[in-house]
Structure 1
Amino acid sequence: MAETGLIFITSLIEEALSKTTSFAARPVFSPALQELFANLAQLLTPIQAVAVGAEEMQESDPALRLWLQKLNDAVYDAVDLLDECGYHVLLMEVETPSLKRKRDQVHTSFSPSNVDSFSMEMAEKFKMINESLAEIRKEVDFINLIIQFRKQKLATARPCSEMVYLLDSSEVVGREDDVSKIVNLLNEQRSQCPISGISIVGVAGVGKTTVARLVYMKAEEEKLYDVVAWVCVSEDFNGQRILGEMLEYFETSIVNPNTIDALLQDLAKELEDRTFLLVLDDVRDKDLNNWIVFCSSLSKIVKTSGNSIVLTTRSEHAASVTEKLPMCRYGLQRLSDDECWMIIKKVVLSSFAKKLIPSDPIGLSIAKQCGGLPLIATAIGGTLSSHIEADEWLAITKNEEWKLEYRNEVLSALKRSFFNCLPSHLKKCFSYCSIFPKCSEIRKDDLIQLWMAGGLIHQQSNESQMPMPMESIGHLYFNELLSNSLFQEVKRDTFGNIESCKMHDLVHDLALFVSKGETFIWEIGSKINSNFRNLRVQNDGEVLPAIPRGVHSLFLEGDVCISMESDLKSLRSLKIVGAKTEVLPASLENLQQLKYLEISGSKITALPASFSKLYMLQTLKVIRCNHLQKLPDDTSKLDSLRHLYFDNERLMPKGIGHLTSLITLPLFFVGKEKGFRIEELGCLNQLRGKLKIVNLNCVRSKSEATRARLSEKTELDDIPEACLGSLTSMKELGMGPFCSALEEFPGLTSIDRLHASLEVLKLYGWPKLKSLPYQLQYLTSLKKLHIQKFGVEAFPKWFGDLSSLASLRINQCFELKSIPEKSIGTCAQMD
């Protein structure tokens, strides 16, 4: 593999095309500049189609890679200029005196000279970009010929379905029990329905195909089925192709292989009195309709019971799709270190039968690097087999040259298994993860917001549907990578939502391997290449060399000094952790295109005045900054802000209600002054996730609380009960509807504190609850109780002890059989 890593350009082209489309019709730009936007789109559209193929084949031909590198540089420059135009639009919208006008009319408030000056400056830059792309466009036909030639060369290789070779089961390590269990499961299922099966699920390189081959061989040797067939599915779940290849295992001639009906007719004849086992290897397709149509077609022609399908997949989602039919899932686990060591020894001895193998402690220390994957154990065994003497092994494991050889061999194997199957946009998102330190905990929301800032998430092109929020698309991307076993050690909140994950060491190495040309982890003395887009620095007191303009993500960990010569105008994401300096470097002030800013564990005392001009900022995270007195007064002007995190009351910006794009606001401190009152929440109806409201005792009246419009924030998962703790004078409380997953009432200790004040309680919307919450017995001042849509079957005995209860109202509690007479006697009003 090329030392410069891989290039993923198609998602970047999508970002550029999306922005040119949105800008081309904006009157705020001069007609000449609008025409250049249109020209840019016309150049990129035909290039995009060829770039997809060039991406896939870039490792097979240096000419493809050189062309992609030139294209990559030009498109990055175009995106940077387009973002500069986007900032200019936001700047005018925020700072013009005609703020109250509609955004599409904002341009009328500017003098022609201002508009023309900016447009003329941008026009010159876009002319240069378009000229570069025009030269690249001239090579498209030649590049396409190379791609077609390489694809034809690959097509002449033997199809994977023909590669069902015999294995010596004695050579396979650690899978005997798995094979026996799968065969037993197949036998148990066969009598229950005409077609049943098992999906073998596991991470790439864990040996799914090997186990499936052993099951195939066992079924064939023991004649468990009349016919056994093997089809490699990979990316294309094509029912007609699968049926055609299945038919090849019968001794018959295909009349008309071009129609699925003809294939089904021939198969029907062959299966009239015979049973079959069909192995579908490497299923990646997640389209339920394809799977259902295939199985439905097969079911129609099956006359006998006892047929089975075994499929292998790395995708939990693909496995869940197949389980819509009579399929069960078998999770294939990683091997132990001892088993990996056995594989390494077998590979080495296959090359040198008389070779002396080192002792187990040395071998096990090597085997631990396999991560339980036989694929990696085989690769390591291959690199060690060239070393004849056993006493060499300990020495070479410390040798840098061998480590490089081992690393390249292992990562190439991982790339083939884990990485190559991903679509381009996920390859880009995965490679971005290399910027995180190895073994670190990666917060899911942070990662998605960084993807957004880097332009790695794109809207689905479907005009018939409402556009999906970028965050939701990011969640889909994350789940795809998780489903492909690229994330692990997932942590969830109380609602089952994923909060964080980690990457296996080998997977992290893979991410660094494929992103080598874009992501750079700086070390003392190293040079920062102009092609790097993502830069992480972890050091104290060191002065970084000048950072080139192309850097989009910058992670600074420790007390790092940045050269004044650095040009950070293109920066999209900035993360500052543990800085000891009290002020941000001057080079960090003019960050017009910044979309993600995190400052944590820092001694910074103030943010620069230019902070309030970060009009493109989407995420702001300021935590554990005990010396920072407040955020700038104009923070409420950051209209693009979607995610705001802070952990100190001092840092809550005044007038937060103006930030109507906010989606994440975990903490809100209620104050008595205007701009800090609870009514600031009123217009923030896009809020999602958790919201903790502190200082509720500052709410002056019921009408003020109502203006927060919490009932309209339907996407909130949780408003912690701790919010109720300070409401010791609250007289009325309504709760519901409740999560249908709850089996019993949560331990709301806060309600106990309201025993002396609460007079009216309304509970509604929980059909699962079979008895009243026990906490109610402590509400000695309760006068009115309204219960609606509960599954309550009977009232508890203590209910009659609520001596202050004067009104009881029950609606739609259809399971309630009776009410104790003592309870009725205390109520003056009941309905």
Structure 2
Amino acid sequence: MAELVLSVVAEGIMAKVMSLTSEHISSAWGFKEELRKLRESLTKIQAVLNDAEKRQVSDESVRIWLLELKDVAYRADNVLDVFGYEILRQKVETQNKKKVRSFFSLSNPIVFSFKMVNKIKNINQSLDRIKTDIAVIGLRMESVNSIPKFSLDRETDSFIDDSEVIGRGDDVLEIVNLLIGAGNQQAISVIPIVGMAGLGKTTIAKLVYKHELVKKHFDVMIWVCVSEDFDVKKILREILEFLDKLPKDLRNLINLRHINISHRYIKQLPIDMGRLTCLQTLPFFVIGQDAGRGIEELGCLSQLRGELDIYNLEYVRDKEEAKTANLASRKAGLHKLGFHWSSEREGNNNDVDVLEGLQPNPHLKSLEIQNFMGERFPSWILASDNSMGDLLIFNHLLEIRLSYCKKCEEIPTLGHLPCLKVIEIKGMDNVKCIGTEFYSNYSAEGSSNIRGDSDRIMLFPALKRLVLMNMPNLMEWKDTTEPTTRVVVFPCLEELTIQECGQMKSAPCHFPFLKKLKIRKICSTAFENISSKLTTLTSLDIGYISGLAYLPEQVLKNNTSLMSLEIWYCDDMVSISISPHEDVWAFCTSLRSFFISSCKKLSYLPDALHNLRSIEKFVVANCPNLRSFPSIQGVASLLRSLVMSCGDEVLPIGLQSCTSLSELSITTCPNLISIPDLREFHSLTQLGIWNCPNLKSIPDLQELHSLTEVGISKCRKLPRLPECLKSLTIGGFHEELDAFPSLSSIQHLHASLQTLRLDGWANLNSLPDEIQRFTALKRLRIWRFHVMEALPEWLGNLSSLQSLSLFRCKNLTYLPTAQAMRRLIKLEELRIHDCPKLKERCGKGSDTEWSKIAHIPEIIIDREYI
């Protein structure tokens, strides 16, 4: 589960770093251009984080990519920390110099500014490498609707940062003694650590926090950043996030009105919560089996309002006990309800009965039901109106989410709900057909509740977003029974997502205003039905559609506002259009981004790209049977990002005119022999060349002054690399080799190369000796040297090395000697991931390897900070 949150963590830290790019700060410190680059890089990376999060579980390369991203994020976070402290120092110094007693000497502002520029440049270089890999591993970009805003006040974590701690032992011990000393009769609330920016105040605080004596003395410890803007509510929220229990005597606070805490760690609530009759805010209630923890405790909490999630409903006996919660009659203030059963449990004896007794109030706006194991939903969900008259039970419902109700055989009737905007249905394994009952139980002469103007019947009159996911047995999605002009279905639907419904063969076609369509893993006939009458699409994203040989003819012709088209893993696709030479691009004048990847049978792409008047990104990746790449003449000045994959011996006509390109990747071109001159590509920042086994030459890149990142892999016949490269990825040679091929062809880079990534394979047993001559190397990453047991002694010769990363070296057991490791005087970071034998020997106090690395400021082993 740790991997599942990597991208979330990275995204949060990325958003915080965005505050560095504010105009007044960049102007004041004189590195506005570097901060602009940082902003652009982060925006692009954020756009692929959602896709990376989904794919990291099954894709090792994505996991490693996220791991590197997280590293860079933390480095950027430290820069923000130092920046914030320096700003604070200047403010305090200006306001009252005499009242601040500093533990450290004043820093030179010119030197500080110079250091900050270099640090941000290093971060930008790291982000450039990460961005280059986006196209290579096939990450899909999504729109970034908003970026969370953070103040300039520094945020910190409890991990020891990468600055070496020298001469601070006395300070740390003094604070530790102050905290736990026997002579302290008075509780200490605040211990200030005052000093100038960048000289270790946060490091001291972290060392105190991690000190063994402190851990033994205090039962509970929480790290929270307290910024200059002392926001009590924010600090309290951050503390509450880590609570795993509430005070057992909470029941005595009978006038308590608000409990605003997260359910993240809390597994059990105190007994007798029902005594808190004044309670208005309770975000969740966890049902227990002990007396005083049953669902009846909710019965007296008639003042509850807002949101409430109820967990462990498997502990409720029957309908009558469920009714004791009084959700229908005494909870009119609740507008959002979640009903949750545990996912890992046996039996479903009473789920229908219990849910029947949990009928909510008629003013509910949001409903979620999760892990319900009944075969049908209760009557209050299925009913169209209540017994009191024509008032709908869910007259105000805005959204409904049904998740992993695996034994339900049908979806409830929802089409008549007048305000419903969002429907999400996931993991309903037993549903085989979405029938006409999904729309409404009314006839054409039915109730006025679903009538629109001119006596038309409106089904799903307000729905904007519909999601169907993980329904492996769903075969049919029927249309409404009355497809007449009097019946209007989905008049407001803008987003439709269908994923992991592999047996779906039929679907409706009435989506008059659909803008975004995302389809993953359904049959081609269902996709053809859905898309047959669409005219308003702006985004189409499809993948894993079996039997789809080409896009339906009307998709591109009828949707002239289409701005983004993405096609993934459609193994049967031969061409975009039924006629390979048809000029379908003439209908795509609004298209900005085209992406097609991993379509094994793709042979043709339409030519005449000059009709794509708005195109900025054109990506064709991992399509090994593509015979030729279309000419890009006519769009060369528009393109900013280009990824090519084809079977030609030469690259497409017009490439040399693409002088506005910032990113160029050439991948899986088995017959490509050479790359044309790129000297006019002055905007090019990233160049990737992958899996071109017959490539024999690439042009000189010395005049490309904007180029910061070059990645070359699986180009076995390439005799020599360009001059003056600063960053290089190389590897992926013949799998049967047991040693890395000679690197004599890159010896000319020994004075310029700063980052080197070696990508090995299963049989490799050693590193190439030539690496020891790269004395300017700052970052070395070694991947997949599976047979190698020891790192060479000459590693200690890399005197400039700052970061060493070892990934997936299964048999690596030994580091160089302690003397060699000590010669790496600039080494600040050691990362070890998926190297089980080395991990076992590098733990604190374990074997001989720990003594070799104990002096390194930052050590991370399998994502754990040591």
* TM class by smaller structure: 0.3 to 0.5
Could you say which structure has the higher helix fraction? 1
So what's the TM-score if we normalise by structure 2? 0.35
So what's the TM-score if we normalise by structure 1? 0.36
With a CA cutoff of 8 Å and minimum separation of 6, indicate the structure with the bigger relative contact order. 1
